[in-house]
Structure 1
Amino acid sequence: MHANFIQILKAKKELIPLVGVLSFAAVGALSFSVYSLFTKSDVIINKSGNPEPWETVDPSKPQKLLTINQKWKPIEELESVKKLTK
């Protein structure tokens, strides 16, 4: 099947850019999925291990791919409620 695919590409050279763009898009989608899986806190695989992983997120660290002018200050009321509930 692999040799057959290469023969088709040799016969119809106009398909080469299409195959290249689709391959690039597939690799990009797969790599971003793997990146999100291992680095983002909102992606959960094992729900039984830590059911609330967002509690351990460092708010001073940006969570987006691109963050512009992020300034985080803790909300005093929220912090006091967190201390009381734990």
Structure 2
Amino acid sequence: MIPLIGFMAFAAAGATTASLYFLFTKTDIINKSGNPEPWEQVDPTKPQKLLTIHQQWKPIEELQALKKLQK
């Protein structure tokens, strides 16, 4: 019975720690600036996942042209 309580406490502490880590360090979870388009602020070169393997980011030319037309 005691090991089960220990495992459950460890799992609860880990889940709480992970939740707080993602809440305060990831820019796409909370819109702190009040910007209606917060996805424009995310740096595409910085990985947003905890583990990223072989991620390559390339700009989409059509979207870049569209952004230039809207500004």
Please, what TM-score do these two structures have when normalized by structure 1?
0.71
**Backbone CA RMSD of aligned residues:** 1.7
Distance 1:45 1:57 in 2: 11
Matched, 1:74 2:59: yes
Larger Rg computed on CA atoms:
1
Unaligned runs of 5+ in 2: none
Unaligned runs of 5+ in 1: 1-14
CA contact (8 A) 2:28 2:42 kept: no
**1:34-73 paired onto structure 2 within 5 Å:** 34-44=20-30, 49-73=34-58
Distance 2:31 2:3 in 1: 36
Q: What is the CA-CA distance between 1:42 and the residue it aligns to?
A: 2.8
CA contact (8 A) 1:60 1:72 kept: yes
Question: What amino acid does structure 1 have at the position aligned with 2:48?
Answer: Q
Report 1 or 2 for greater relative contact order, CA contacts < 8 Å, sequence distance ≥ 6. 2
Matched, 1:25 2:11: yes
Structure 1 runs of 4+ aligned residues shifted over 3 Å read none
Q: What is the CA-CA distance between 1:41 and the residue it aligns to?
A: 2.9
Count of aligned residue pairs for this structure pair: 71
